[in-house]
């Protein structure tokens, strides 16, 4: 399947699967009191995007967002991109490229997009973190449909 063969991404599908499959997710559930509560929205180009404020509590080096948080943001964006097309999958492999430090106390936009699948149950997904309209981190990943695990 390529992107033209996948179902059209839908906010309703994303919200329903997120609620059913990630009811207490640290990153994207509104119901986890200690969570980040990312709200992914389907974009006109079919990707999903959410805003993250980069609070100081997530610091690694001074004035810098921890790289593990960046990776978690990318992973969540890619999982939510799959939710938007009706797919529930787990991360099988993820490659993260850090292009620039992410400054604290300035927000980022994190995006995810389904790229392709060669044969069910494997999906290829990409993610990006942007700060000040500049891509500061990218990820590519393979996700395995949960029913294939």
CA–CA distance, 47 with 64 (Å, rounded to integer): 27
CA–CA distance, 144 with 38 (Å, rounded to integer): 23
Domains along the sequence of the chain with CATH: 11-148 (3.10.129.10)
pLDDT band at 1 (very low <50, low <70, confident <90, very high): very low
Whether residue 42 is predicted with pLDDT greater than 50 in this model: the reply is yes
Q: Quote the pTM value.
A: 0.93
Which pLDDT value is given to residue 116?
83
Contact in structure between 50 and 5 (CB atoms under 8 Å): no
């Amino acid at each position: 399947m390529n992107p033209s063969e996948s179902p059209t991404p839908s906010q309703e599908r994303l919200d329903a699967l997120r609620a059913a499959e990630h009811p207490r997710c640290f990153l994207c559930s509104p119901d986890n009191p200690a969570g980040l509560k990312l709200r992914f929205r389907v974009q006109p180009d079919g990707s999903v995007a959410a805003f993250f404020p980069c609070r100081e509590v997530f610091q690694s080096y001074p004035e810098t967002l921890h790289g593990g948080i960046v990776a978690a943001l990318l992973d969540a964006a890619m999982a939510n991109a799959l939710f938007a097309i009706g797919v529930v999958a787990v991360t099988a492999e993820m490659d993260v490229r850090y292009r620039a430090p992410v400054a604290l106390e300035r927000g980022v936009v994190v995006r995810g997009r389904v790229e392709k699948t060669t044969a069910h149950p494997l999906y290829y997904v990409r993610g990006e973190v942007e700060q000040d309209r500049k891509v500061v981190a990218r990820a590519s990943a393979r996700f395995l449909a949960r029913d294939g695990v």
